[in-house]
Amino acid sequence: MIALDILFYTAGDNAAAWIDAVSKALPEARIHLWSGAPVESARYALVWKPPPELVWELGKTKAVFNLGAGVDALANEPKLPRHVPLVRLEDAGMAKQMAEYVTYAILRRYREFDAYAEQQSRAVWRPRSRLVKRDFAVGILGMGVLGCSVAAALAPFDFALRGWSRTVKTVAAVESYAGRAGLDAFLGGCRVLVCLLPLTPDTRGLLNHETLSRLPQGAYVVNVSRGGLLVEGHLRALIDHGHLSGAMLDVFQDEPLAPTHPFWHHPKISVTPHVSAVTLIDESVAQIANKIRRLEAGLPITGIVDPQRMY
């Protein structure tokens, strides 16, 4: 029998928790925590943001499992061997978290809680006229697993929902747009824009001055996908000049966000530290273990990253 050797590396500080979960889910496996020396026997690799010197070794494995939904950090690595399948996490508890975060962001904006917080700071008691819900369209940029989960969570609140994706998608209660040809029409009707696209060469910098200007006057932006999709200076300029009313951002071009970054103290921008949907270790490991067992049995698996699309 071929030994089930697994090479493990994470740039995070939770390696012990991951290794414990993998040991329980795959008790027959021998787990090798990478420390700089080659692991010739590794059959699979479980990694998060591996250093370049480790990326070379991944070519010796049968499959590489990325310990997160976003694969841009690894898929963009030129040294990554293309003959080895790169496998991403599929949901693993993240869809519900994302739906919670985005629903909060939408309701906070629709019910104008920021405005009431500002009034409280001045001891002002002034009820505001309710916004007209039919004029408060929510646009979801990216209708994958997370986008569809967000749409399902928002549907009971009766917001007008719009969705944009690379190809046409049919989703209940969502007006669908697709491709570059449909992007302007999609953006033009969004009172709130929620970005859930993966970061690829086609989407990097997609939210720039030109595209953000297509949003209606007073629109609001929520970015919970990847910071590289948004040109931060362009967003700030459109807010400062009054075209956009504000933003809630969970992801940034450079993380952690520098203490001197202007977003920290901008009165119309809310910042959270990349927490909209954190990776749940037990759920993720259960998914990975199931896929490893399928591969060992010669069965197909889902979640293999297309190197052209990078998701």
Task: Return all residues near 51 (Cβ < 8 A) that are at least 6 apart.
Answer: none
Q: Give which of 208, 46, 222, 30 is closest to 138, Cα–Cα.
A: 222
Q: How far is CA 268 from the centre of its chain?
A: 22
- Active site (annotated) includes residue 83: no
Question: Which is the catalytic residue, given 134, 226, 243, 293?
Answer: 226
Find residue 285's DSSP bridge partners. Answer: none
As given in the structure block, the two tokens for residue 92 are 């693993």
Peptide bond into 256 cis (omega under 30): yes
CA distance 303 to 256: 28
- Active site (annotated) includes residue 226: yes
Question: Which is the catalytic residue, given 234, 261, 274, 293?
Answer: 274
CA distance 298 to 296: 5
CA distance 201 to 180: 14
**Residues catalogued as catalytic:** 226, 274
